[in-house]
Amino acid sequence: MNMSDLSVRNTNDSMQRMTDAVLRAGGGSAAVLLIAPSPGDATDAGQLGLDAPNFQGLTLAPAIFRRTRPTMTQNQPATYELLISATAVAQQVSLLQLSSADALFSMVAAVNMGGLTLLIEEWACTVSLGTPMAYRLLLRASEPQSMTTDD
Amino acid sequence: MQNAKDTFYVALRNRLAILNPARQVEIRGVQRPAILVEEAEAPMKELPNDTFVLRWTAATALEDLPVRLMQLVCEVHYATSGSQPNAGLDRGRAMTEMDRELLDILTPMCAPKMSYTTTPATALATNVFWSEPQLAALETVRDQLLRVASIQVLAFDEPGEA
């Protein structure tokens, strides 16, 4: 959602650069978002889980990755928080010719952080003076998967 | 059993494409009829609107026949929030439209069983057949209407079938 500040003021990208600096200082990780390749698989096999999806890794940095404060509940997977630079997201949105960051995140099948596969539960945008600074993603650890297919 | 699931989905998908070509969804970069198998797609934060999502639940094997008869339960989840031009005020009509489309694509209640592990698909010896759908009560969550339809899908396990 674009909530621009329409007041007359001298704006520059200093807040965005400061946000990126904070993200680098706080961890400076890189998040790999797994998205479907383009063009996609339009075959029956692709829709029935027979073909490998060949997800592409989209690297976004800087990012901060941390575990959320745990609420001890039986059989609940661990949840994590990922803060990604809005400038990095905007760059990928432009490269992929998408309409918005929401469109990008809705395409993401999973997030890979240092070999750990995570699923996106929710995302939100941190905005300053109408300009996105960072995106906050709530992630959940995925269940273990077998190493081979069942064919 | 997997061939029965695949056949059921492909049959409904092809019928939906003919019945309402405008009902499409983009999944993994592909524009396709708005019907998908939940277990064959990446996990979703929430199920897409205006799309039929097939979820396989219970399975029963009937062994008293010469050939094992598998009885599978398929839940079809679908939801709508109406259209943007009507600001969602047509969501009731949109849900009725989806109800009608689901009933239409389920008729006739059988399809020749195919194996999609080969290209092109291979016809098998029996049919997949299913019951009338049981449409559950409509659930309203603020601006979204949701419904689940349950269908009993039956198919014989053919000798040598994987």
Q: Which helix (H) or strand (E) covers residue B58, if one does?
A: strand B52-62
Mean pLDDT for chain B overall: 94
Which chain A residue has the Cα nearest residue B9? A48
Amino acid sitting at position B55 = R
**Average pLDDT score over residue span A137-146:** 85
pTM of the model as a whole:
0.84
Tell me if the bond preceding A62 is cis, omega within 30° of 0. yes
Higher model confidence: residue A76 or residue A26? Answer: A26
pLDDT tens digits, A39-84: 888 889 889 988 888 889 999 999 999 988 776 677 777 889 999 9
* β-bridge mates for residue B151, sequence order: B74
- By C-alpha distance, which of B91, B80, B77 is closest to B149? B77
Contact residues on chain A for B43, CB-CB shorter than 8 A:
109-110, 119, 142
Residue A90 is predicted with a pLDDT of: 93
Across A100-129, average pLDDT: 91
pLDDT class of A149 with cuts at 50, 70, 90: low
Which two three-digit tokens encode residue B86? 């009507």
Instruction: Mark out chain A residues that contact chain B at CB-CB < 8 A.
Output: 36-50, 53, 106-107, 109-110, 119-122, 142, 151
Using an 8 Å Cβ cutoff, are A119 and B43 in contact? yes
Whether A120 and B45 lie within 8 Å, measured CB to CB: yes
Tell me what pLDDT residue B70 has.
95
**Residues of chain B positioned with their CB less than 8 A from the CB of A50:** 116-117
Is it the case that residue A28 has pLDDT exceeding 60? yes
User: DSSP readout, B1-46?
Assistant: -HHHHHHHHHHHHHHHHHH-TT-EEEETTEEEESEEEGGGS---SS
The β-bridge partners of A63 are A29, A84
Average confidence (pLDDT) over A11-35: 88
**pLDDT attached to residue A108:** 92
Residue A10 has pLDDT above 60, yes or no: no
Task: Inspect the interface and report whether the beta carbons of A120 and B121 lie closer than 8 Å.
Answer: no
pLDDT along chain B (162 residues), means of 10: 96 97 91 95 89 96 91 96 90 96 97 93 94 96 94 92 68
Gap from B75 CA to chain A (nearest CA, Å): 17
Residues of B in contact with A119 (CB under 8 A): 43
Is it the case that residue A147 has pLDDT exceeding 90? no
- At CB < 8 Å, which residues of chain B contact A? 6, 9-10, 13, 27-30, 32, 36-37, 39-40, 42-43, 45, 116-117, 119, 121
Q: What is the ipTM of this complex?
A: 0.80
Tell me how long chain B is: 162
Q: Does the distance separating the beta carbons of B30 and A39 come in below 8 Å?
A: yes
Mean pLDDT of chain A: 85
Please give the distance of CA B149 from its chain centroid, rounded to a whole number: 9
The Cα A127–Cα B150 span in angstroms is 44
